[in-house]
Structure 1
Amino acid sequence: MSAPADVFTLTAEERALLPTDADVAFYAEHGWYLSKKLFTDEETALLRSASEDFYAGARSRTLPVRPPRLAYWTPDKGDVQRHNDYVHYESDEIASVLRKPLLGAVAARLAQADAIRVFQSTLILKPPSPQEPSNVVPWHFDRDYWATSSSERMLTAFIPFHPCDERMGTITMIDGSHRWQELDRDAVTARHFVELGRDAESVLHRTAEANGAEVRKVPVVIPEGHVSFHHCRTYHGSGPNLSPDPRRAISLHLQDGENAYRAFPLADGSLAAYNHDVLVRRTAEGTPDYADPDFCPVVWEGQPPSPAA
């Protein structure tokens, strides 16, 4: 269920952590933003311990059905990069941190929206194995895989559980790429970015060239408790983890309150699908409800707040 309206309030100290008008303008121009410290050391410690419990099998609940393209690491898959979707649904401990109103308020400021809901969350662990192919995330942007969503304001919060730098394979942005026009959306929408593999670099450079743009790669160095946000059309990826420690993080995909399901036909006549479509409740029209509070809880509601003076 949605939280009561009075839950979506901030202290003066929290308001001081919101993006300024200049930060919002930077996000609009560049397609990404590095926040101030939104999470306490205790909260990031909780994420680390809760994620270890999750990997050991702890669940608050499990998905009622398995969606067709679910990313879900299990121990039998070995020491590859781990991805576990719907962690906000399956772990109440992790969800208690992800649903922090301050995080939603930052997203609301950046997206210029008066409501922010969770769209998806993926728990990620990148092992300290530079030679492991799965450790390299090819260039992609999230909107391609959300073709069934009506909004163009969706965004992602990348939340490491520790300081995260280039050596650890931090997230890397292609600066300003959210303003580019796509070459062939249908071809990419039908494939996951992992399936694109080496083609992703070619797609990136061909798209930049077609837009008369430069490919400017910006590794985002993220102190503990800070969060990297990016627009749903910003190309991004990450390199191998060259450090001695695992890189632990959550990609929290967020939707504005106006986002809703839309039918998106593919070239072969079929319709694009998202994992939610077999999980969420149905609207009165019989379409998947991307406002289902069980899977897409509200994390901010109300007029986007302003930073403290």
Structure 2
Amino acid sequence: MTTDDTRFPLTAAERELLPTDEEVEFFQEHGWYLSNKLLTDEEVDLLDSAADRFYTGHRDRTLPTRPPRLAYWEPEKGDVHRHNDYIFYEDDTIRSILAKPIIAAVAARISRTSQIRLWNSTLIHKPPRADDTRNIVPWHFDRHYWQTCSSDEMLTAFVPFHDCGEEMGTITMVDGSHRWKEIGGDDSTSRHFADRDRSELDEMLAENAAFNGAEVRKVPVTIPKGHISFHHCRTYHGSGHNVSDRPRRAISLHLQDRTNQWRPYELSTGDLVVYNNDVLVRRDAAGNPDYTDPDFCPVLWEDAR
């Protein structure tokens, strides 16, 4: 396939929204970045209304098979912290907005890559329930769950559907933690935070900080409507209770850089880790999962210059 940057044109106004050199350096040093306003209020409202339709059963398409560790809230689970993976695939309205080239262009610039592909996407609804510990997202970094990926430079865009501050339990970064050297892990680190004890994850954060002689500096990111928070795949992050009077609604848009491809990752049992994408994407020439599959991992930005 022949590509050039005209596949993903930006308007002159959008080019003004790209990170400056200083902001790129900030991301490289701190591991997170708050963008300019990349989505209009109307686009954000469309995301919100599309989420309402999704929660009442609307699907433009459904997954061809159910991956083994799929996060997928359904109404019978009640008013809890909801996660629905593959929302980019299942809903065309959400897909059309999240595929705006400016989002991936920002990701490409701060991560210094010439291509951004989708990795996964999760619709999130955090109800205003200060009494429910399931609303707390414990400290973790995404790279742990992406062990079948060859790249250490993947990143996530966190896209709220409204102004999002501390009261709502906004995403909170451990500043600069993506630059830490990691203590040797074990099989448990490949398990999602929802499958692990919160105190264990708190202890891991403290141990890694001590190992690096680093301060655990927690930065809640206040995100105005239409702005997007980006974080590096090795940046520790989490979120607290939503103590506001409304749900905190957002999408986590996980992104690959150009270099990423499948790699085998063996557990101590001898079993290979299987990420959900591995049962959905096409096979490459060697029979391995192809993380360039255009159905599940489409190119969202590419600059061939």
- Taking structure 1 as the reference length, what is the TM-score of the superposition? 0.96
Q: Counterpart of 1:213?
A: 214
The residue matched to 2:37 in structure 1 has which SS? coil
For 1:249 and 1:2, the matched residues in 2 are separated by 34
Aligned residue identity for 1:85: D
* Contact map agreement 2:157 2:254 (CA 8 A) in 1: yes
Q: Counterpart of 2:133?
A: 133
For 2:155 and 2:128, the matched residues in 1 are separated by 28
- Check if 1:117 corresponds to 2:117: yes
For 2:2 and 2:255, the matched residues in 1 are separated by 15
Aligned residue identity for 1:31: G
For 1:43 and 1:189, the matched residues in 2 are separated by 36
1:192 to partner: Cα distance: 1.4
1:5 to partner: Cα distance: 5.3
For 2:192 and 2:255, the matched residues in 1 are separated by 19
Q: Counterpart of 1:90?
A: 90
* Contact map agreement 2:5 2:304 (CA 8 A) in 1: no
For this pair of structures, how many residues does the alignment match?
304
The residue matched to 2:94 in structure 1 has which SS? helix
Out of 280-289 and 182-191, give the one that drifted further: 182-191
Aligned residue identity for 1:275: N
Q: Counterpart of 2:205?
A: 204
Aligned residue identity for 2:250: A
- Check if 1:284 corresponds to 2:285: yes
For 1:9 and 1:135, the matched residues in 2 are separated by 39
Out of 246-255 and 1-10, give the one that drifted further: 1-10
Mapping for residues 47-66 of structure 1, pairs under 5 Å: 47-66=47-66
Out of 190-199 and 93-102, give the one that drifted further: 190-199
For 2:4 and 2:200, the matched residues in 1 are separated by 46
1:249 to partner: Cα distance: 0.1
Gaps of 5+ in 1: 305-309
- Check if 1:103 corresponds to 2:103: yes
CA RMSD of aligned residues (A): 1.5
* Contact map agreement 1:144 1:185 (CA 8 A) in 2: no
Mapping for residues 1-309 of structure 1, pairs under 5 Å: 6-196=6-196, 197-302=198-303
The residue matched to 1:17 in structure 2 has which SS? coil
* Contact map agreement 2:147 2:190 (CA 8 A) in 1: no
| Identity between Structure 1 and Structure 2 (%) | 62
1:4 to partner: Cα distance: 8.0
Deviations 1:255-280 (A, max 9, x none): 01221000011122111110011110
1:159 to partner: Cα distance: 0.3
For 1:80 and 1:122, the matched residues in 2 are separated by 15
* Contact map agreement 2:175 2:218 (CA 8 A) in 1: yes
Q: Counterpart of 1:307?
A: none
